[in-house]
A and B are shown apart, each in its own frame.
Chain A
Amino acid sequence: MRSLAELKSFTREAARILAREKDVASYEIYCATAEHRIARLAYTSDIPSRGLEEFKSLHADGFQLRITMRRDPHEVGAASEAGDFTSDSVRDAIRRARSAAVVDPHFSGFPAVPLGRKPAPSEKSDLARVGDGAIAAAAWDVLDGALEAFAKRAADPRIEHPGLIIGGDVSVIRDRIAIFNSNFAEVRINEGAHFHASVTSIIESLDAKGTATALGDSAAAMRRDAHVIGRDAVRRALALSHGVRPAPGKFRVVLGPQPIAEILNYMVMGSLTTGAFHAASSAYHAKFGAPVMDSRLSLVDNPMFSAGAFRRRVTCEGIPTRRVELIRDGKLVGLLSNFYDTHRMLTDEHRAEKLGPSAPAKLIFPPLSGYRLGEGGGRRFDASPGSAGTNVVMRARGGVSDRELIRAVGDGIYVGRIWYTYPINGQRAGDFTCTVTGDSHLIRDGEIAEPLAPNCLRINANIAQVFEHPLAVGSTPRPATVWGSPEAYYVPAIAADSIALAEVAPT
């Protein structure tokens, strides 16, 4: 990875070259260097396997520039270059950007927000420096813990082929950026590093599945969690053995933190952007300012959340980050936005209809969430600015303990993990479907009862059933990850009523 000093120096040099171009009215130069190191677990007791599968890394660094032309302030072109941080590559990119330019009547220029108090460029996470050895050692620790926990189970001599599967990964993602545009007084920089680890343990002979995840921003946390999560995933699977298959019907359910994170990720976050409102595709179309969730629930995106995996002080458009309030006491009060989409929403001639009658007359939608992200959520040099969250935190006023949540359900199901959650009828409809894959139990008389067999039920529901009229909400936000998501989630469990569950036949 290139250092911040290298990125900063190159950005300055590129800006000098751009400033000399006579036909260029304004410009932006964005440099990013990113690395994703992955130690992936793939252990199967009865099929030959590598144990640590695909230990690999992806390195990407480069820059993107955007220029506007003097002949028309709305004529904007972009070009990116990988790997080559030289003056020649800047000149080449300028040529490409000219060729790619379009007259976009809605392009309003580049941000001019002052930096204010100079943010610290680096969070000094020691993850920024850990090498392969530490990541691989953590991954082998996960596997070691999982296999040891399995070896210590109450032995069942009848099981010659237990069908133990340990999957998941330990990943470290780190990135550095430098950004400058012709409205800025200085090059702005930022650096981040975080890890996530997830383990899935399946014991096929017991028809059981348990999972565990960890998220964090230090090497010490990665080492500590690695010792625990493999063991926990196996213990959970062992505790969930020989689960039952309930008949289909409508149930009262507790959705644990992972299901809530998954529903937010696939069903809600995409709707909480200015882009979705402009496109008339938000599930909250015409409901800005109106209640969209239970009045106990609030949702924020906080790039500097103290317990969060991410620490972002500057967006990929160079704007200092702030906490963005999305839902306050159940009402939709804010949206994730980037610079272009903010302007587009505020100048949208159908804005009143799209936002709805409850929207305040004066709105600004500050562009605090403009990120250029790649697969896995790291910052990428050639991505266009989009709107994304960072640490998404849901809090509940008057939330109750897990035990009280389960009591509130009485008879029903605790859903600990869901899978393949999609907006089956499009984002705006709010309908979703998914299957219950593991970590789940029946609830009887307000107590956790028999485990559920993995993959035996399909949920068919709408987000309104989960968030508008919950039976009860949990008090404590817990970390949860969603495969492929750029955000980290910190969410409570929620109890919901009348959730339709269809049967999935055993194979």
Chain B
Amino acid sequence: MALLIGRGDLFEAIEYLRREGEGILARFARSKRGIAYADLRFEVVFNRSGAAVNGEPRDGSESENAAYFVSVYVADRAGPVGHGQTGAEIGALAGRPAKLVAELRRGLNEAYDRARFSARKKAELIAHLGDAAKGLLVAPIPSRKKVRDDVDATFSRDPRSLPTDELKKISLDASHEIAALGDAIAYQVVAAMTEMRREIFIDTAGTVVSQAYAFSQGDCYVVAQIGDGHQESYDSIGQQRGLECLSDGWRGELMPNPSLAKFCVGLATEARELAAAPVLKAPDGEVVVVTDPHFNALVSHEVIGHPCEADRALKMEAAYAGRSWFLHSLADNQLGKQVASTLLSACSDPSLDGYGHYRYDHEGTRGRRVMHIERGIFSGFLNSRETAAVLTAEPNGSARASEGWHVPLIRMSNTFFLPGETPPEKIIADVERGYYVCGHQIPSISESRENFRISARRVYEIDHGRIGRLFRSGSVIADSKSFFSNVDAVGNDLRLIAIPNCGKGQPMQVKRMSNGGPTLRSRARLAGN
């Protein structure tokens, strides 16, 4: 039994809405004219964290919050459909059914008014501009069978039942171990977090889905300084589990991690080594690069995952996160075309045991594996119900919000390059002259993700199949299609990496997911500083 601190258990509000939510939504839909569809999502989050800086305690916190998001579609008499939404954090008010219901009604009414206003404005604009405004006629979202399901979280230690002192201690212990590495570590921060989330999705078409998640995450930032050399490194480990994955480490096949202390010491030791290493002098022209799974996690994230988001491909993110090189238009796109070497395949799979695991998205659609590239051929986008309708595809359950009060956006889940059969040692041994690029650092991607520069934590020379000198401040620059097309070896060492901070949307939503791949060998330009 969880030991809860607080006046009441906000998680009980999920049970209340499981009983009453459909009725609340149905009564609202009946009371308003023109409602084509409505849904509501409600989420409760309990979080504990601790942080230490330079071997000294810095922070501890525990928080509990509740939030909802509602979405309403209204059809104008003239035809166009308007869409309105509202999200709000309501905290402890969710623990009182009368207040909760009043808040939901307020939100639904506000969303309805917005939807009606938009439907009317669209009708006016279409009447005024004719063909010039024809893009405003959205495709209707197909109906679907109702779904009912409950999904439990996986953990050994319930995040709600731990003393916060344990979070403080685990981060302080790790920070002490880094401090013991000596003066070369100029600054370091270690943070640990464990969290329980539970959400329920209800729509007017009869779907009721509740899902629970346990997340635990450790973060480390370190600045090393030796003489004039310096290195800033930042990395995270995380699992959809309890704190056991940080205190004891996790031995899962796809995404193992050491204990938080071991992870932090490893990162700091590497930063110290890098601060003493020379800066990479960029070689002229393209060179052979062997990229490790950690580096490829960011390549798969930025250059596969993001351009495979259908909202981006359909230009809905053009003003913020950009477009996609996989889709110029509905008629002119890369679907079914060769975009990579036949050795290369990539997919998103929310069913896998990664940081981006889930069963249903925030539109109540079951998530499933989506192949993006199959043996070099581009094969599909992540979508929502609306974008699936535009693309005449089946919804694949990829619309997710980062918090209970946010709008669902199309998001990666566990997105990665599929493994091949070659041992990574052989991939390196077969290189006469080249570079071994390890650990991702910072990305900069062009607007349609057709080009990238991603910095690595470590770059080694490869000379006659052997790993040689270590360099810092190296990065890979390539046009995406060229990089993928030049892949001539794919390792058998698939790893997923927890990505805790993917930003998208306006306002920005920061989402957790996994990315990864095996070792790859290709050709690219390298840059130093």
Interface of B is mostly: mixed
Chain A nearest CB from B220 CB (Å) reads 13
Chain B nearest CB from A87 CB (Å) reads 11
Measured between beta carbons, the chain B residues less than 8 angstroms from A50 are: 82-83, 118, 122, 136, 138
Q: Is A321 interfacial (CB-CB < 8 Å)?
A: no
Interchain CB contact under 8 A, A44 and B315: yes
Q: How many A-B residue pairs have CB under 8 A?
A: 312
Q: A58-B405, A101-B60, A458-B446 are in contact. Are A280 and B93 (CB under 8 A)?
A: no
Q: Mark B75-97, 1 if CB is under 8 A from A, else 0.
A: 00000001111111111111000
Measured between beta carbons, the chain B residues less than 8 angstroms from A427 are: 232
Measured between beta carbons, the chain B residues less than 8 angstroms from A219 are: none
Q: A77-B60, A105-B56, A505-B479 are in contact. Are A55 and B91 (CB under 8 A)?
A: no
Measured between beta carbons, the chain B residues less than 8 angstroms from A421 are: 444
Measured between beta carbons, the chain A residues less than 8 angstroms from B407 are: 54, 56
Measured between beta carbons, the chain B residues less than 8 angstroms from A133 are: 117
Q: Is A8 interfacial (CB-CB < 8 Å)?
A: no
Q: Complex Cα distance A442/B319, Å?
A: 23
Binds A, one of B13-21, B322-330, B343-351, B514-522: B322-330
Of residues 31 through 90 on chain A, the ones whose CB sits less than 8 Å from some CB of chain B are: 36, 38, 40-62, 77-84, 88-89
Interchain CB contact under 8 A, B453 and A433: yes
Partner of A204, one of B114, B132, B135, B328: B328
Q: Is A265 interfacial (CB-CB < 8 Å)?
A: no
Partner of A483, one of B125, B138, B320, B443: B320
Q: Complex Cα distance A164/B134, Å?
A: 12
Q: Complex Cα distance A350/B5, Å?
A: 41
Chain B nearest CB from A439 CB (Å) reads 13
Partner of A38, one of B6, B232, B328, B506: B506
Q: Mark A467-498, 1 if CB is under 8 A from B, else 0.
A: 00000000000000001100000000000000
How many A residues have CB within 8 A of the partner chain?
Answer: 107
Partner of B125, one of A84, A99, A147: A147
Interchain CB contact under 8 A, A78 and B315: no
Interchain CB contact under 8 A, B58 and A102: yes
Of residues 1 through 40 on chain B, the ones whose CB sits less than 8 Å from some CB of chain A are: 5-7
Residue of A nearest to B48 (CB): A100
Interchain CB contact under 8 A, A504 and B93: no
Q: A54-B407, A99-B62, A102-B60 are in contact. Are A49 and B136 (CB under 8 A)?
A: yes
Q: Complex Cα distance A62/B164, Å?
A: 22
Measured between beta carbons, the chain B residues less than 8 angstroms from A92 are: 5-7, 92
Q: Is A415 interfacial (CB-CB < 8 Å)?
A: no
Binds A, one of B204-212, B223-231, B492-500: B223-231
Measured between beta carbons, the chain A residues less than 8 angstroms from B62 are: 79, 96, 99-100
Interchain CB contact under 8 A, A58 and B138: no
A-B contacts, 17 of them at CB < 8 A, read A44-B314, A51-B133, A51-B135, A53-B83, A54-B85, A58-B87, A92-B6, A104-B58, A144-B128, A161-B331, A167-B315, A420-B444, A422-B444, A424-B453, A425-B455, A426-B231, A435-B451
- The residues of A with any CB-CB pair to B shorter than 8 Å are 36, 38, 40-62, 77-84, 88-89, 92, 95-96, 99-106, 132-133, 136, 140, 143-144, 147-148, 150-151, 161, 163-165, 167-169, 171, 198-200, 202, 204, 278-281, 285, 350, 375-376, 382, 384, 419-429, 431, 433-435, 437, 454-455, 458, 460, 462, 483-484, 502, 504-507
